[in-house]
Amino acid sequence: QVQLVESGGGLVQAGGSLRLSCAASERTLSNYAMGWFRQAPGKERDVVAAISWIGASTYYADSVKGRFTISRDNAKNTLYLQMNSLKPEDTAVYYCAASQRQSPPTNVNYVDAWGQGTQVTVSS
């Protein structure tokens, strides 16, 4: 099973930017559709953005449309999430996710592997 390791989280002021990265262990990341999910304290884990296995299709939660961009570099086995115009409500643990489906994983039930998570904190 693919192993996923996130990086790039941290503390940022509202309006700032962060770029999350997710490195995959396998050299065939292109076999997986990928996604970013987040979970705030006391809340469910929800999809933020997702991308199909060859990157032709993407999905964004309404709350992040126009601010976040998901991308993938299959040659580097890496998934990215560029987060701009961050808001305090974006504060959460962000998880990288891999799915054996071809379409973007938009639900936790479609995920086959998770990273360990990286904390993003946005101060007001």
Q: pLDDT tens-digit profile of 70-123?
A: 999 988 999 999 999 999 999 999 999 999 988 999 999 999 999 999 999 999
C-beta separation of 20 from 118 below 8 A: yes
How deeply is 8 buried, as exposed, middle or buried, from its count of CB atoms within 10 A (0-12, 13-18, 19+)? middle
Q: Return the closest-CA partner of residue 90 out of 63, 72, 53.
A: 63
The helix/strand/coil state of 80 is strand
Summarize pLDDT for 29-58 with one digit per residue, the tens: 788 999 999 999 999 999 999 999 887 899
Q: Is the dihedral of CA 115, 121, 71, 39 positive or negative?
A: positive
92-99/113-114 β-pairing: antiparallel
